[in-house]
Amino acid sequence: MMIEGLHFEPLLGLLQGANWLDTATYWLVFVVIVVLIVASIIGQTLKRQPESVVSPALLRTFNQRVRAWWMMFAILAAGLLLGYTCTIVLFGFVSFWALREFITMTPTRRGDHRTLFWVFFVFTPLQYLLVGVGNSFVKLESASAIWWADTLNLEGIDLYGLYSIMIPVYASLYIPARIALSGDARRFLERSAKIQFSLLICVYSLSYAPALAHLDLLTSKQAVSNTSSTTDDAPPSQDTEEETTDAEAQTSTTRRKWKEGGRAGLLFYFILIVQLSDIFQYAWGKLLGQRVIAPQINASRTWEGFVGGVLTTAIVGALLWWVTPFRIWEAACMAFVTAVMGSAGGMTMSAIKRDRGVSDTGTLVQGHAGVLDRIDSICFAAPVFFHLTRYFFSDLA
């Protein structure tokens, strides 16, 4: 499988083992496809009927949303099927595109040009490179990771320590310094803040989503035989591994290693929960929405929608616990936090768009929404979801 002497592998973050996707993840992907097909059929059927019960504007939004979900699903599924490296690269491109939309929407001055070049072509790729390599120098599974670790004395170094501060510390210090070098002091603080913020939201925060896929997950769930039937469907190749880890778990701690194949599933679960929380908040807001949270920011976000959406997301997140290393109540809590953060992200981006006087971020022209409009909630939820998972459900040793 691997050519001897080719040592680029860890740098590219090729961590994908044979069991990157497990049966539970395939099930979840299958369920999502079915739901999307049903949604598409409903949308198209209603569109064909001239006298329909729903308003045309609502229907148009619905159909646009369904198209966007298909797109998002296709990208995510392609990344997951092709493996860890491709997932990292795809998220990198999404970040790049979102950053492009963000900076386009934000006025910068001529003096910021070279700083922006650094932001796009140095910090963005570097962040994803660091996330991609992740903890492969701790685990040292591949021959090339061992080679790099030996040569550069990197053994045991988890790049979490670097990628979690690279942008908030080093890039944030570099950006104002580089702008100062350009010799244009007008609105200096404002310009620095704009570029720092866009990098933080579009690149740093989003990169925590694919970073989920290199955590060594732990679970407090009961042994496989006692849990739900779905996790029993694991392919036979994993059974031996499960047994050995079970044996270890019984002797050492109450927590066991979660299956390798569950990592991609956790990423998929996270994205799904954020999207569902957007949908539920919208739906509850339409159904019961009375009290608008902040009319100046976004006229369609209501307290009813927020509370209803967050609670529904927590329930659905709990029902999907079988994909994750979480127990049912843990899954409910994680989904709850994710939904709250997602909502905060939506509100924040609304405020920015309102300030800039645009309704969508996609093009300079008003009309159709861009990537940033679709991922704002993911950006806000990803770091929190990642850190909670890392502290409570992963092997930090």
Partner 1 sequence: MSLTASILSVLAKLLAGSSVRWVDCQPDTCQRVYFANHTSHLDALVLWASLPRNIRMLTRAVAAKDYWDKSALRRYIAGSVNALLIDRENIKVHRSPVELMIQAIGDTHSLIVFPEGGRNASDEMGTFKSGLYYLGKKRPDLELVPVYIDNLNRVLPRGEFLPVPLLSCITIGPPMWLEAGESKTEFLKRAREAVKRLKDI
Q: Which residues bind partner 1 (CB under 8 A)?
A: 100-101, 103-104, 108, 110, 113-114, 116-117, 120, 363-365
Cβ 127 to partner 1 shortest distance, Å: 17
Nearer to partner 1, 107 or 161 (CB): 107
**Packing angle, helices 56-82 and 23-48, rounded to 10:** 150
- 180-200 burial code (b ≥16 CB/10 A, e <16): eeeeeeeeeeebbebbbebbb
Nearer to partner 1, 218 or 372 (CB): 372
Nearer to partner 1, 126 or 159 (CB): 126
Nearer to partner 1, 117 or 329 (CB): 117
Cβ 78 to partner 1 shortest distance, Å: 20
Cβ 43 to partner 1 shortest distance, Å: 25
Nearer to partner 1, 332 or 371 (CB): 371
Nearer to partner 1, 70 or 120 (CB): 120
Cβ 108 to partner 1 shortest distance, Å: 7
Cβ 103 to partner 1 shortest distance, Å: 6
Beta bridge partners of 219: 256
Rg of the chain's alpha carbons, rounded to an integer?
22
Cβ 381 to partner 1 shortest distance, Å: 26
